[in-house]
Amino acid sequence: MGKKKKELGFDSDGAKKVMRKRDYMADMSGQLALGLMANVVGQLTYFYTDKVGLAVGGVGIVMAIAKVIDALTDIWFGNVIEHSKGGNSKFYKWMFRMMIPAAVITFLMFTVPKGQTIGMIYVLVTNVLLTAVIYTMIATPFGAVMVVRTNSQVERSNMGIFRAVGNYGAGMIISIIIIPVTNMLGGTQSAWIKFGAILALIVLLLLAICYNNGRKAKYSEDTETLNEVEEEEAVPFKDAIKMLFGNKYWVIVLLFNIITNVTNAIAAASGTYYCKWIFGNDNLVAITGTAGLAATLLGFVLAKPIISKLGIKKTVYFGVLGQAITCVVRCVVPTNFMACTVMSLIGSLVQIPLMCLYGVLLAMAVDYNEWKYDKKLVAVSSGAIGFGSKVGGGLGSIILSVFLAIGAYDATLEVATTSMRYAIYGFSNYLPLVMNLLMFFVFTKFDLEEKLPKMRAEVEARRKGQNN
């Protein structure tokens, strides 16, 4: 007989713990795979304009169309999951089904044929397949896993931290290596195709690790009982959406995701443009990315104590206002490489604790659904939040293209024109300042943190009353 595993005990709220270190690491690998897919899409605008030779305006329109389609499929697929059977285990099945298609389409993103018309069609089709179909069918149920795998707020917070490590780590990896590696391989489109092949294999391996752990997951007693005895009755899609928009906290998380993803979509692409045209060398992306990675590692070390000390709402304030201050400095000295690098480092550091809370905020909004409606609406809540994320990403792509078009961007020039430089300053420095201040204003209305313990007690009392 095998050795019996040590019980993990209960958290401070009395919820049973079920997550072990290997569970956190495997869960993080799934987020890392999704992060690699998402962040490489963020670099594609530069790839399409400077390596494939597609027109800036056309690329912006095509990417925006793909994001709109992507956003709509998030809502639809969340509803599909909500109406499917299988209890808690159903959320991992989609990862198994989609892991090989995810690897294939990741590679095909780089094999764009020459020619404006055929190239634009290819870009649209591959972006829709990657983001609107495959990514959505993995990310939507994976986002819901945090709510159903454990009832412990401590473990949810820890999962949020590990997922943030995976997601942000993916962004750092892509930003650090993609330009130097593809330049080392020749700097041409074929170099990017080789890079895509390696990336596809890594994505497949990470998703396989996550799925293998998830299919054997042990859930808390409460979620096991719910799964075996009374699976929540599915709510008609129209009614579910009406309920969500009646939950002001879910709306705040939705707005927060939209605004954040506008900023992230622009930031993912802006670094390469900034280093190439403002600092004169696109290989400098590796230096700024490495500095950001160092700050990220420190940020994750400090994330848990910062969240414990400040609480959820103040941690968000710390992140958005801290980032806003770094943007002010970049606006004042936009051509100083050292100053901009240091500010990027500080900006990454203060944003990490905030990023660790994304899943936690969604889980809190889902708990509020249960208190208000007696329905958690787990998958549709996650899918509709994904809708906001994709809308934000689409808006970011449009805004980036608009700035470049207004600045008369020309990838064939040796030196940036004045209009090109100010366009890059606009989307790299000034816009993030405005967006972070807007995020601060939106989140001032989020007061669920102090109300939630009492609400959970009321929900538990209702359950006991129904069972008696």
pLDDT in tens, 438-465: 999 989 989 888 888 888 888 888 877 7
| Residue range 424-429: mean pLDDT, rounded | 94
Q: Which residues contact 389 (CB under 8 A, 6 or more apart)?
A: 74, 257, 258, 260, 261
| Residue range 371-396: mean pLDDT, rounded | 74
**Distance of CA 260 to CAs 318, 358, 361, Å?**
15, 10, 14
- Predicted local distance difference test score (pLDDT) of residue 5: 63
pLDDT in tens, 367-381: 888 898 888 777 677
Is the model's pLDDT at 40 over the cut of 90? no
Identify the band that residue 89 occupies on the pLDDT scale cut at 50, 70 and 90.
low
| Residue range 383-402: mean pLDDT, rounded | 74
| Residue range 126-145: mean pLDDT, rounded | 87
* DSSP label of 283: G
pLDDT in tens, 232-276: 556 777 888 888 889 999 889 888 888 887 887 787 778 888 999
- Predicted local distance difference test score (pLDDT) of residue 184: 92
- Predicted local distance difference test score (pLDDT) of residue 59: 87
Residue 238: closest CA among 453, 384, 434, 84: 384
Contacts from 423-429 at CB under 8 Å and sequence distance 24+? Answer: 424/270, 424/273, 424/274, 424/277, 424/278, 425/278, 425/331, 425/334, 427/266, 427/270, 427/399, 427/400, 427/403, 428/266, 428/267, 428/270, 428/273, 428/274, 428/330, 429/327, 429/330, 429/331, 429/334
**Distance of CA 458 to CAs 128, 340, 451, Å?**
43, 50, 11
Is the model's pLDDT at 224 over the cut of 60? no
| Residue range 358-370: mean pLDDT, rounded | 85
Identify the band that residue 221 occupies on the pLDDT scale cut at 50, 70 and 90.
very low
Instruction: Look up residue 455 and give its amino acid.
Output: M
Question: Are residues 45 and 383 in contact, defined by beta-carbon separation less than 8 angstroms?
Answer: no
Buried b (16+ CB within 10 A) or exposed e, 421-456: bebbbbbbbbbbbebbebbbebbeebebeeebeebb
